[in-house]
Chains A and B, each alone.
Chain A
Amino acid sequence: MPSDPGLRLANITVTVRGHGETLPILAIPALAIDAGTSIGLAGPSGSGKTTLLHVIAGLLRPDHGTVVWDGSEVSRLSEAARASWRRRVVGMVFQDFLLVPELSALDNVLLPCGFSGFSNRAQRAPAIALLAELGITAPRRRAAAMSRGEQQRAAIARALLFRPKLILADEPTASLDAMTATAMTDLLVAQATATGATLVVVSHDTRLLSRMDRVVHLDRGRLA
């Protein structure tokens, strides 16, 4: 067991350069998320929620500060090492899904098998089962032909398939009706509980947020 299980963010700043000036878009002195707990990130549009998730996922290297997972500093790793860390630890639902439109829902979910060391063949049945659980009964339809809500659910399935220890979800219920949203929330929480995963969810959905152990608010890049 690592000495300090969970996620620790310290002194994070992210700036962007534009028109000759540097604009801060994220400034977080400290944020600790214990392993196996869930946290909701809320805040107005443009407040830096997605940016924060990218920083946690190692997709974006902060200008300053550290991201530590289970006692090791992820933010200091090389890009290849961060990709390898993501492979082992992270499952992510992107705000705009990032599905491959030409591939079927199933192939999209199985796509990471191509580089994650999981066998495509072995994951096939679980993937179909997971999609069915998420209400997608025609897993061979092309993603481009699916509704936004279906696409969102396929994206969730892809994030959960390998039972990641850290689930990052960017507005996972934004395109869903209230009932489906509740079902998705149940599923996310249930899997996180079952696998002991840490869950970080960006959302405006108060019902989803109410299911989180804790909710923090972001405003103009700062924790409110």
Chain B
Amino acid sequence: MNPWPMLIADLRAMRWTALLVMLLIAVAVAIGVSIGAQERALRQASARAADDLPLLIGAPGSQTQLVMTAAYLQIEAIPLIDGGLLNTLAADPRVAGVAPIAFGDIVRGWPVIGTTAPLVTAWGRLSPSEGRVFRAESEAVIGADVALPIGAEITPSHGVKAHGPVGTETKDEHARKHEGTVYTVVGRLPRRGTPWDRAILVPIETVWETHGLGNGHQIEDGPLGPPFDAKAVPGVPAIVVKPRGVADAYMLRSAFRQGGTMALFPAEVLVSIYRSIGDLRDVLLVVTALNNLVVLLAVLLVAVTLVGLRRRGYAMLRALRAPRSYVFLVIWLGVAILIAGGCVGGLALGWIAATLAAEWIAQVTGLHAVATPGWSKLRLVLILLLVGSALAVVPAWLAGRTPVSTALRES
């Protein structure tokens, strides 16, 4: 059996309707496809971002804010804690590593993060892909996404979020420049897929000094990092601690939950954020499923109407000796092609949407969420295709029901 000539005639006769139907399905599928892709990719990317921050200590306040600031560098003014804690922690036997996170300055949209060497190398996990870690107060290490060459000299501005190449600074940015503070880029870190890829990492000492707080040490230009032996060590927004063991982690957390500090496991906070994202996703999935169902019903209605319009043509086929199975095949294939075309178009559309969304998210948050066309999405589309072609049986069956002679007389 060769249903194609008749099928082509049908599609030609109803080309605009057919196109609209495909578009309708495509949009519905695209919505379904792009929703889940983001959520999954974000979850992975954000977990990665918190990987190197086992325990966070900050001033009491919003836990979420502290995590967002430290893990995602969503720079906000948050209260400081005593910098002297760095010394206390460095001496604590339960602590394997400790580093501050201080921010507020920006170079061309890249946040300048003041810290110490252990956090730069992610507790020794990373080594610079180019150059080396900073060794002096005037040196900086940049993340993989910072578009500066090794050897570049940069001066940070206070809290100005203008973007663009170095040398195109705005007036405002110039006005807020910390004149006299110059960093030389000495190293670049490998890509981590987190907001830290956009950060410029500098010694905490220089950040303090830039803001007129001294360098935390007794002497100028001494060795970097703890112990900070100044009479009054300046404050920091957050301290990252790498505990030696699990028990140590919990002991440290409870120890620093009181006495004017807050301690938390970022992973824990993320889990609760995920939970609410997950709830949202469940709602969205239900909405998507309903959406697809409605679209399928609409398609079915359109198909039944169109088949009604072409009834005489199908009666003609049967009058021309075509078996019912042939007419059935023509109609079923027609509807199935519309649905399949819509699904393929929807996958493409959804993929484009997901890619654009991922790019936008990377721009805004620095999270590189690579949306892979997950198997579950394909399954959704396959189900849609199966259910759709199963539903296509209805108009196909209806067309075979009127007696040929009667159908021929109706015009």
A-to-B contact residues, CB < 8 Å: 51, 54, 57, 59-61, 79-80, 83-84, 86-87, 90, 92, 94, 96, 98, 100-103, 107, 110-116, 120, 158
B-to-A contact residues, CB < 8 Å: 1-6, 8-10, 12-13, 312-313, 316-324, 326, 403-405, 408, 411
In the complex, chain A residues whose CB is within 8 Å of the CB of B312: 98
Contacts A92-B319, A114-B326, A115-B321; A98 near B9 (Cβ below 8 A): no
> A-B pairs with the 5 shortest C-beta distances?
A60-B405, A114-B2, A102-B9, A86-B321, A87-B321
- A111 contacts B321, CB within 8 Å? no
The total of Cβ contacts below 8 Å across the A-B interface reads: 81
- The smallest beta-carbon distance between B343 and chain A, in angstroms, is 26
Q: Can you sample 14 A-B contacts with CB below 8 Å?
A: A51-B405, A54-B408, A59-B408, A92-B320, A96-B411, A98-B312, A100-B6, A100-B313, A100-B316, A103-B5, A111-B5, A112-B322, A114-B1, A116-B321
- A115 contacts B403, CB within 8 Å? no
- B321 contacts A80, CB within 8 Å? no
Query: In the complex, A102→B6 CA distance in Å?
Result: 9
Chain A, Cβ-Cβ closest to B407:
A59
Question: Which residue of B6, B12, B403, B408 is within 8 Å of A111 (Cβ)?
Answer: B6
Query: In the complex, A94→B320 CA distance in Å?
Result: 10
Query: In the complex, A61→B403 CA distance in Å?
Result: 9
Apart from A86-B321, A101-B13, A114-B326, 8 more pairs, CB < 8 Å: A59-B408, A79-B324, A101-B9, A111-B5, A111-B320, A114-B322, A115-B2, A115-B322
- The smallest beta-carbon distance between A113 and chain B, in angstroms, is 7
In the complex, chain A residues whose CB is within 8 Å of the CB of B403: 60-61
- The smallest beta-carbon distance between B176 and chain A, in angstroms, is 70
Query: In the complex, A112→B320 CA distance in Å?
Result: 7
Contacts A98-B408, A102-B12, A107-B5; A115 near B319 (Cβ below 8 A): no
Question: Which residue of B3, B13, B316 is within 8 Å of A102 (Cβ)?
Answer: B13
- A83 contacts B322, CB within 8 Å? yes
- A98 contacts B316, CB within 8 Å? yes
Q: Is the interface of A mostly helix, strand, loop or mixed?
A: helix
Query: In the complex, A200→B232 CA distance in Å?
Result: 116
Contacts A83-B323, A115-B321; A100 near B408 (Cβ below 8 A): no
Query: In the complex, A110→B13 CA distance in Å?
Result: 19
Query: In the complex, A79→B323 CA distance in Å?
Result: 9
In the complex, chain B residues whose CB is within 8 Å of the CB of A120: 2
Question: Which residue of A94, A98, A100, A112 is within 8 Å of B321 (Cβ)?
Answer: A112
In the complex, chain A residues whose CB is within 8 Å of the CB of B322: 83, 112, 114-115
- The smallest beta-carbon distance between B405 and chain A, in angstroms, is 4
Chain B, Cβ-Cβ closest to A90:
B321
In the complex, chain A residues whose CB is within 8 Å of the CB of B12: 102
In the complex, chain A residues whose CB is within 8 Å of the CB of B6: 100, 111, 114
Query: In the complex, A107→B323 CA distance in Å?
Result: 19
With most chain B CB atoms within 10 A of its CB, the pick from A84, A90, A94, A98 is A98
- A115 contacts B1, CB within 8 Å? yes
Chain B, Cβ-Cβ closest to A99:
B316
Query: In the complex, A94→B317 CA distance in Å?
Result: 12
- A84 contacts B1, CB within 8 Å? no
Query: In the complex, A80→B6 CA distance in Å?
Result: 20
Question: Which residue of A80, A98, A107, A110 is within 8 Å of B319 (Cβ)?
Answer: A98
- A54 contacts B326, CB within 8 Å? no
- A113 contacts B316, CB within 8 Å? no
Chain B, Cβ-Cβ closest to A95:
B408
Query: In the complex, A151→B322 CA distance in Å?
Result: 21
- A59 contacts B321, CB within 8 Å? no
In the complex, chain B residues whose CB is within 8 Å of the CB of A94: 316, 319, 408
Query: In the complex, A61→B9 CA distance in Å?
Result: 30
- B318 contacts A83, CB within 8 Å? yes
- B405 contacts A100, CB within 8 Å? no
- B326 contacts A115, CB within 8 Å? yes
- The smallest beta-carbon distance between B397 and chain A, in angstroms, is 14
- The smallest beta-carbon distance between B407 and chain A, in angstroms, is 10
In the complex, chain A residues whose CB is within 8 Å of the CB of B10: 102
Query: In the complex, A94→B321 CA distance in Å?
Result: 13
Query: In the complex, A92→B404 CA distance in Å?
Result: 14
Question: Which residue of B9, B316, B324 is within 8 Å of A80 (Cβ)?
Answer: B324
In the complex, chain B residues whose CB is within 8 Å of the CB of A86: 321
- B320 contacts A84, CB within 8 Å? no
- The smallest beta-carbon distance between B317 and chain A, in angstroms, is 8
- The smallest beta-carbon distance between A8 and chain B, in angstroms, is 21
Chain B, Cβ-Cβ closest to A61:
B403
Contacts A102-B12, A102-B13; A113 near B2 (Cβ below 8 A): yes
